[in-house]
Every structure is written in structure tokens, then in C-alpha cells.
Structure 1
Amino acid sequence: MTISRRALLTALAATPVLSACGGVSTTGTTGSGGITLMSNQFSPVEEKQRFEQILKKAPVPVAFNQVETGIFASTLTTQVAAKKVQISVAGALHGDLAPHSDRLTDLDDLLGTLGDRGFPQELTDLAKLGGGTTKYIPWMQASYVLAVNKKALEWLPSGADVQKLTYDQLLDWATKGRAGNGGKPILGIPAGVKGLYHRFFQGFLLPSFTGGQITTFRSAEAVTAWEYMKELWAQTARGSTNYDNLQEPLQRGEVLVGFDHVARLVGAPGDKPDDWLMVPAPSGPKGLGYMLVLAGLGIPQGAPDVAKAKQVITALTTPDVQLEVLKQNAFFPVTNAPVPADLPGAVGLAQKAIKGQREAPNAILSLPPVGLGARDGEVGQIFKNCFKEICLDGKPVRQVLDAQATELNKILAELKIPCWQPDPAGAECKAG
């Protein structure tokens, strides 16, 4: 991911890194006996440097070759096709690994040795990339949640549990909060130019109302979801269209409740975590839709040193390393690593909210779009267009959804990719 986690770093106490068993080369090459880990994660310089320090725990020297998503895809494709593979481990988001299923080594044997990690079944199922064998080992995860300044709780609807909200209750809360706050909205969303508000529609609102993301794009239930969004927007801070992240307006007190990626929220509590809550997303008619941001570690076909690659993946899934990645770079464990009680307050709050979403009995797991590659931005823009035309411009919902579905289907027809969760796996990916 490319989102900044600088605010998190100010909240985290520095944790000593264990002495190295092998060195890390920042040039992308290793010395004798080392391997290369190529990844499109941790692109900010500070994140890359911190992860290189974490890699010093590995049992062999590891060169961390951080690249952009397009280069990740082209390098993996080219090297495997030419049978001149220099990469031993490939680390990326689920959606970036999915197009390379036939270029990745089967890892059922490695997963079998990691039974004590306690990977959730849904993650190991995803790691099969639609096939019958494991293609990557889960590495780290993140999601989006609601951050709540406790000042806003005075307007929470009677009988509502802030940890188990419905979308109707969220609307009621925002409406009462605005009225009780002198007409100033208490709710904000990251609808700025660099905001991730399209992920709210893709992974939360639409799955909760329709059970899907793409195949239900212009369904009657989707119309209901967007009509709801119009009502919610009427009670939302207009400054939201300038918010690239929510933690800054939350810190300033411009809004008291906000939805965003956890890494863009954890700075909000500052040095007063007791004044804040982070809670799961609301539930809709179909359930609690939530977006899982999952990264995995695979081994390319023809990798130069498979045995050492497996040793490194094993090391990166140990409890101490999983927690080190959480503390340093804001990705949460995918294992049963016990999260210590002395984590910085904001991180602990976020961890509980993510766990609450995942373990909710009505949870609907959603993924960021899979297999779109460089065109992910175009698909994201379609959801942003829906918001602009429906909520800002006041156009009829049905008219907007039909028009945007046509544009979405043009892209999907060119890509010819199967659908991703929560839509039926393997189904024709077409906006319906």
C-alpha cells in the first residue's frame, strides 16, 4: 500500500529490533547465501527502512526490493516467462498476487508446517487464489473502521450499541448529533482528492445493502443504498470533500466521528486515547460488509532458492515479527500472535475494531478489486463518480447507476477477469 503511516509512528514507542542473523542490502542485491524479497508494500522511505530492520531477524540475508505495483507485475511475469528468476519471495496484496497464480509455487507443504500460526480459515482459502492449492502464505492485514470521539456518544440513539451499529442508527446518530451540536455536523468521510472514500462504497456500504460489489452494482438494493447515502451525506460535514484522511479533522475537532483506513485514523487520539473509541463498521440489510486488505508472501516458479525463501516466510509469520510489523508499519497480524496490552492506545483500539468486524456473526468479507492492475484507479473513479453525481449533483440514482455501470462494464470486458468477494468467486465480472 502507498498510504502514509507517519501519524502512527508518532504514537508508537520505539521497539528494539533483535540482533541480525543476516544483513540486508538496500540496493536490491544480496551477498553470498542471500535471497531477494520483491514487494510493492512499504513504499514510503521510512516504512521501507523500518521493514529492512525487521528483515534482519531473518535466518538468511534478505535484500528488500521495493517496487511500484506495475513493476512488480511486469518483473514477476518477465522473469518467470524467461525462466531467469532472481526473486525468491514476492510480497503483495491479494489482488496483486491473484493474476500470477500460475507463476507461483504451490505452498501446501509450507502451510502445513505453520499450523501453530492459527491463520483464519478465510485467509488460507483466499491464499489458494481460486484453485486447489496454496499459492501464498498470509503475511499481514488492515481494514477500515469508525473512529469516535466520546463527546459524540451523548447523541447516540437510545438502545444503540456503538460496537454493533446499523446504518439506520448511524444516520440517526449523525442527524441528532448535528442538531445537538449547534447545526455543525459531527460525521466526516475522506472524500478529498486522495481520500479512500470509494473503498467505503465498494467494501462496506454496497455489500451491506446488496450482498455484492460488482454483480449487484445497479440492483434495486443498490438504489436503496445510494438513496441512503444521499441522506447520510446531508448530515455529513461539507468539508469532507477536502479531507484526504480523517485523522487530522478528527484531531482538530472539526468532526467527532469518521470512517477511514486504520492507518489514517490512528493519529487522531494523540496522547488521549481514553477519549476515543474505534468501532466496527455498521450493518445493513444483508449484514456487516467490511473490506479486508490482505497481503501475502509467495514464491515464484523457478525461484533460485526455494528452501531459503520458505525459511524467510516462516520467520515473517512468527509472533514477534508479526507484532513488530504492527508496531512499526501499521499492518495487523494475520496469525494468532497475542497482541500485548501495552500497545499504544490508538493501535489497540484499532485492533479491537478490526477483530470485531471479522468475527461478527453477520460479517460479509469484501476484497479490494482483484486483477485490475493499473486500471484499479479507473474502477475506483466510477464509485467516486456515483457519489459526486448522486450526493453532490443531485442526479437520479437509477440514471447514474445505469450510466456508470456501462462504463464499468467496458473496463471489465477488456480485462476479462473473474469476480472477487463478496461477489461469487469465478462468476463473470459484470456490473449487474
Structure 2
Amino acid sequence: MTLKFQFAGAVSGLALLVAATAAQAEVLFWSTQAKPVEEAQAVREQVLDGAGEVDYQPNDAGPWLTRLNAELKAGSGSIGLLGALHGDFSAMSTDDLVDLDELGLGAQSDTFNSLAQLGTDAKQYIPWMQASYIMAANTKALEHLPEGADINTLTYDQLIAWATNVKEATGSAKFGFPAGPKGLKHRFFQGYLYPSYTDGVVRTFASDKAVTAWEKMKELWAVTNPGSTNFSFLQEQLLNEDVWIAFDHTSRLAAAFNERPDDFVAFPAPAGPEGRGFMPVIAGIAIPRTAPDMEASKALIAHLMDPATQVATLRATNFFPVVDVDLPDDLPPSVKAAGNAVAIMSASPDANPGLLPAGLGNKGGDFNRVFVDTFERIVLAGQPIERVLEDQKKTLVRIMNDTGAPCWAPDAPSEGACPVE
């Protein structure tokens, strides 16, 4: 069976731009992505094959930004193309990036394309690749789905009903949640639960809608395997069948699909009253205003957005395509399963992405701890929701004021530190 990523971007001029690449000068591709030696080499040899003369140079965020800012300040430079996460671009002035609408390129997801505008009327970067968290289930669980439920369009209420049905049928709770010491539970609250129920993360932290979200989390926990406080990689529990339904990062579910591909299905996260909250890790490509050869930079973008190149990027980086591709049969089962789920989730009409926190510096761990502590106090310790939220709100306010970090989606933009309302 061929799985597809639907492509919503226009393709006019694509072939012309790709063909023009060979005639252009070398482009310095300055990136924060694919930094490990093996990945970087795979990008050079596979992803950039046929792209003309390209010098791919991945760096940590600090050196990446230092050199970029120096060139922007000087008014000229050698960087031809930028590769970075959405959060890196959102922290930049849009005056320093070239509008890219004229390329007619974009992602499958209208939501991603809108984010790429960075609050303007034109794309400031082109969505390039994506990763995310998804859900997985043993095929044994499918017969217990609530009547009329579709795993690709589940709601939280349907998920809870499903987990309840499985518990009643098997005599044990078989929903698995990564609540262990190394589990990614904080990302679930920040990118899934809060966006789905409050349409925010920071502004709405202690809102009435947040109270409802935590009430729903308590309902879900009642049908969750109690051993989840020790679960960090749900692939293990799926394989030993302590868990039949699970939420986790794609990489932490991979072994289950690769070892027993016929026994498991992957599907999008559920939706709440404010949409289908999910946390995409969106990487984009952009042209700085100081690029030495604009046409060469644009031709490289066209090459990177070509479906064949997107598949090569998947092989090299394990980041999924954002455009229409046929996934080859020789990809690992985990890639095909997760890729389909990610594509459906990001393109769903009710998609409501909760982006990775940005601008927190060394306070990122403290920010995550707020959500973990809230979970432990409300769900595990049974403390009153309103009291816990008001208490944790004080800590969150201090973190935001200390860092001055502005709001990120789905919170409404802010001038200065994102307020906790």
C-alpha cells in the first residue's frame, strides 16, 4: 500500500528553479538541523545530490545565530540559506528575512504555512520537515472502539471511552502514558492537552478551561495502566502488551512497529473543544536579506521541497516530509506508520499546534517542571485543581518575567513576556 503526504503548495516554477540550480554559485546552507556527523554527511551526499554547489554547515543554535547576526549587522554576508526550527525564526525580525510567497511553495498543512508567515502576509520561511508525537494501539484494541469512533478523528471523550472498554474487557487498564522519570509527559500537557482544551499554554495556564483539561486528565488516568509512572518509552509496554493504547514520541514507539508491524496501528492525537492539539517540531528554510545570490538560494529551496528530496531528507534525518510524497516500500515499518499518522494529524481541519517553548534559555527545565508538578499534584496526589493551578501560576509568572519570553502558538502574540492571565 502506498502512503501519501498531501501537498497543498503550488508548484508553478518548481522545475525551472531546480533546473537553474546548476548554473548558480555555491550556496552556504547554514543550519541548526542534522548536526550529528552521520546525519550531516547523509544530507550532503543524499539530500543535496543534484542541487548544484552547496556547502552544508550545521551548527548549534548559539554559533548559528552569532554569525547570522554579524552578517545582518554588516549588511552583507555569505550565508545563502538558513535551516532552523520555527522558534528560531520567530525570534528574528521579519525585516531580516526575504518574503518567499513568489516561489509558490509550501507545506501540506495550511496551519504550517500560516505559522511560516510569522505574523506577516507572506511566508518568511518555507516549512521544510516535521516530527511529532503520535498515538499507537495494538490491533486487539480496535474491536473495543466506541461505536462510530474513527481512530484518525478521535476526541478525548472517545479515547477515554475506548480505554474504559478495553479495561472492562480485559480486566486491566491498558492505556499507557509516559509518566516515568524520563518520559515526555510535559510535552503532552504543553502540546496536546492544553491546546486542545484551552487554545493556549501560558496565558491560559490557570483558566477555567484549564480546570476542565485537568478534570479530563483525571478521567483518562482512571483507565491508565498504574505502572505508567515508570514508563518512559512506550514501545516496550506495547511489545509486552502491558499496554494496548499509547501516546509517545514517534522515535519512542519505533521498535514496536519495526518488530511486529502487523500488530500495531499509528494514529493522530485526539481532539478537544479547542481543536486537535499537537506539538509539531517544525523545521523551515529561509533566505536572509544579506544572501549573496538570491536566485541560487531560491533554487536550493525548490530542490529541498521536491518530493524526491523530501524522501531523501526523511532517510537522512528521520524528519517527515511536509509535501506530497509516495513513501517507498523499503522504509522501516515504523517510518511508514508514523509518517501517515503525522500527515493526517498536521493536515486535519481542526489542527491546533502547540509549538515547542521558545525564548526560555536556561529556564526551559523550570518551565517543564511547572507542568510535571501540576500533574503530580492534581492527578497523582489528588489535590484540588484550582488551588494547584493558582499555586503553580506564581512559579510560571516568575519564569516568564525572568526570561521575557514572548508567547508562542497557540497563545496569542505578546509584546514582551507572555502573560499568565
Q: TM-score, normalised by structure 1?
A: 0.82
Alignment check: 8 A CA contact 2:94 2:118 kept:
no
Match of 1:52 among 26, 44, 56: 44
- In the TM superposition, residue 330 of structure 1 has moved relative to its aligned partner by 2.2
Counterpart for residue 103 of structure 2: 113
Q: In 2, distance between residues paired with 1:82 and 1:375?
A: 31
Q: Which amino acid aligns with 1:125?
A: S
Counterpart for residue 83 of structure 2: 91
Match of 2:351 among 363, 372, 375: 363
Alignment check: 8 A CA contact 1:80 1:103 kept:
no
SS at match of 2:79: coil
- In the TM superposition, residue 165 of structure 1 has moved relative to its aligned partner by 2.0
Match of 1:134 among 115, 123, 128: 123
Counterpart for residue 243 of structure 1: 231
SS at match of 2:242: coil
- In the TM superposition, residue 219 of structure 1 has moved relative to its aligned partner by 0.9
Alignment check: 8 A CA contact 1:211 1:423 kept:
yes
2:166 matches 1:177 = yes
Alignment check: 8 A CA contact 1:196 1:260 kept:
yes
Counterpart for residue 53 of structure 2: 61
2:176 matches 1:188 = yes
Give the stretch that moved more between structures: 355-364 or 144-153.
355-364
CA displacement 1:199-233 (0-9 Å, x = unmatched): 21112111222222222111111112112212322
Count of residue correspondences: 398
Q: In 1, distance between residues paired with 2:50 and 2:95?
A: 25
Alignment check: 8 A CA contact 2:107 2:113 kept:
no
Alignment check: 8 A CA contact 1:104 1:135 kept:
no
CA displacement 1:217-252 (0-9 Å, x = unmatched): 111111121122123223323443333332233233
Q: In 2, distance between residues paired with 1:268 and 1:119?
A: 28
SS at match of 1:135: coil
Counterpart for residue 384 of structure 1: 372
Q: In 2, distance between residues paired with 1:155 and 1:125?
A: 38
Alignment check: 8 A CA contact 2:107 2:127 kept:
no
- In the TM superposition, residue 58 of structure 1 has moved relative to its aligned partner by 4.5
2:294 matches 1:302 = no
Q: Which amino acid aligns with 1:266?
A: A
Alignment check: 8 A CA contact 1:94 1:370 kept:
no
Q: In 2, distance between residues paired with 1:361 and 1:123?
A: 12
2:22 matches 1:34 = no
- Which aligned segments of 4 or more residues in structure 1 are displaced greater than 6 angstroms? none
Q: 1:403 to 1:77 in 2, by over 3 A?
A: farther
2:322 matches 1:322 = no
* Stretches of structure 2 lacking an aligned partner (at least 5 in a row): 1-17, 19-23
* Stretches of structure 1 lacking an aligned partner (at least 5 in a row): 1-20, 22-31
Counterpart for residue 14 of structure 1: none
Match of 2:281 among 256, 268, 293: 293
Q: Percent same amino acid among aligned pairs? A: 41
2:195 matches 1:203 = no
Alignment check: 8 A CA contact 1:114 1:314 kept:
no
SS at match of 1:138: strand
Q: In 1, distance between residues paired with 2:180 and 2:93?
A: 35
Q: 1:38 to 1:243 in 2, by over 3 A?
A: farther
Match of 1:167 among 128, 153, 156: 156
Q: In 2, distance between residues paired with 1:190 and 1:63?
A: 40
Q: Which amino acid aligns with 1:99?
A: A
Alignment check: 8 A CA contact 2:109 2:347 kept:
no
SS at match of 1:54: helix
Q: Which amino acid aligns with 1:113?
A: L
SS at match of 1:289: strand
Q: Which amino acid aligns with 2:68?
A: L
Q: 1:161 to 1:70 in 2, by over 3 A?
A: same
2:360 matches 1:372 = yes
CA displacement 1:6-53 (0-9 Å, x = unmatched): xxxxxxxxxxxxxxx9xxxxxxxxxx9533322222244433332232
Match of 1:156 among 145, 165, 178: 145
2:384 matches 1:396 = yes
